[in-house]
Structure 1
Amino acid sequence: MNSRFVDMLHRALPLVPLALCMSGQAKAAPSPSLCAPDEQVAFSCPIARSHKIVSLCLAPGKTTPPAARYIFGTASHPELIYPAEGRARANFRTSVLGYAGGTGGNTYSFVKDGTQYILFYLSGASLENAGVIVKPVNQIYASAELDCRPSTASHALDDDLLDITNSWGTDPELDGKALPVTKDISIPL
């Protein structure tokens, strides 16, 4: 084989998986989830430095209104399932985040017992981050942020899933804005 062709092939091969992913022809390995086998995964990822997983699961079929549930913990010990009973249409919301410099993302959120739970996915130039933020309602700062292990988040990209989650309505505290941050008391004000 021509050495010039081989050299060009070696330089082009790393771009092939990227091109396939961008064209929608290749799919990443699914992230582990706590969803039942008959549910669709809207969001899921293993939490960094932990054995826990956070998942947002959609009921099978096209129910109206769409049923979903949030699960946090491990398969053998889920710590929080919302809604607690069955597959109900809880107060889930979806929003698009607003950041400068070509960075964007989306969220799924809900409020339970005065606490807001925010599943997020951000991406941009040299940035990919996902996780869950826990914040008391009507507070500026989050009380906790649990990041996903790097490059492990699975989130709804399928048109049918996006149609379902987009029907939930937006969260006015998040839509077009940035995520809340945890207050770092070690930084002098």
Structure 2
Amino acid sequence: MSNPLLELISRGANVRNIMKSLQCISLLVLCISSPSCGAADSGPNGQSLEPKASQSSSSKVSANASASHDPKITPLPEATMCSKPDKVVFSCSLDKTKKVVSVCMADRAGQKRFYYSFGYPPVPELTYPASGDENEVLHRSHLSYAGATGGTAYSFTKDGYKYITYLISGTSFDTGGVLVQRSGDTRALSDLRCSKGSITESDDDTVFNASTKLDRDEDIDSHGLPSVN
């Protein structure tokens, strides 16, 4: 019986072409012996059956993470809880919760209103005072320290707790956050610090001048910021 391979060689066939032919034959034998041969390429109607679930799942995960405000995601420094077109007095994202705290100024027909807003932008969890409530106001106090260091604190009391949003600036540093204090206590329960590099403070003279007209917090004026338990 004649050998086809020897016949091809004797007829001067190129060795490289012979090797390619042998490789194709081997692949064809393997494919025929596999029941899943061609399944990933096409379906009954010639449609591609290549799985696309991984791409779709990835898109859904990204969308869900954004929609649920994943705490692992730190908001950009410019992200604030202030409603448009209200002006930012002070704002930062908090280091542990990754939520944003902002003190804002609304100006409606010359009537300036300052408010505190906390949560994941743009949906607030707590806003004080509530819009239109003239009986609730923020207090403002100046913070003094040794050297070229000073700051500002905005405070209010709600449901038995006092919230103090503060900013302290010195030579080559800024720090801030929110202190939560039980009414009547001399110390704070917690200090939620601003994330590094996330602090935004207004340099608008109109905002500053209006803020100095807020009522002062006598306790902070007398004792400064409370220490944390």
TM-score (norm 2): 0.60
Once the two structures are superposed, what CA deviation does each residue of 1:113-156 show, in whole Å capped at 9, x if it has no partner?
22111110001135321111111122111011111111321223
Which position in structure 2 is the counterpart of 1:25?
A: none
Gaps of 5+ in 1: 1-28, 184-189
Contact 1:93 1:165 in 2 (8 A): no
**1:154 and 2:189 correspond:** no
User: Relative CO higher for 1 or 2, CA cutoff 8 Å, sep ≥ 6?
Assistant: 1
**1:83 and 2:126 correspond:** no
Contact 2:143 2:153 in 1 (8 A): yes
Secondary structure at 2:219 match in 1: coil
Contact 2:167 2:176 in 1 (8 A): yes
**1:38 and 2:85 correspond:** yes
**1:164 and 2:210 correspond:** yes
Structure with bigger gyration radius: 2
Query: Identity percentage over the alignment?
Result: 33
Give the paired residue count: 153
Indicate how the Cα distance of structure 1 residues 164 and 135 shifts in structure 2: closer, same or farther if over 3 A, else same. Answer: same
The structure with the largest helix share of the pair is 2
Contact 2:143 2:150 in 1 (8 A): yes
Indicate how the Cα distance of structure 1 residues 176 and 31 shifts in structure 2: closer, same or farther if over 3 A, else same. Answer: farther
Question: Aligned ranges for residues 97-136 of structure 1 at < 5 Å?
Answer: 97-136=143-182
C-alpha distance in structure 2 between counterparts of 1:87 and 1:30, whole Å: 29
1:69 Cα deviation from its structure 2 partner: 2.1
Which position in structure 1 is the counterpart of 2:101?
A: 54
Secondary structure at 2:127 match in 1: strand
Once the two structures are superposed, what CA deviation does each residue of 1:28-78 show, in whole Å capped at 9, x if it has no partner?
x963101111111111111113331001121124644x3122111112542
Secondary structure at 2:211 match in 1: helix
Amino acid at match of 1:59: A
C-alpha distance in structure 2 between counterparts of 1:117 and 1:71, whole Å: 11
Once the two structures are superposed, what CA deviation does each residue of 1:149-178 show, in whole Å capped at 9, x if it has no partner?
113212233211012111112111112643
Contact 1:91 1:111 in 2 (8 A): no
Gaps of 5+ in 2: 1-75
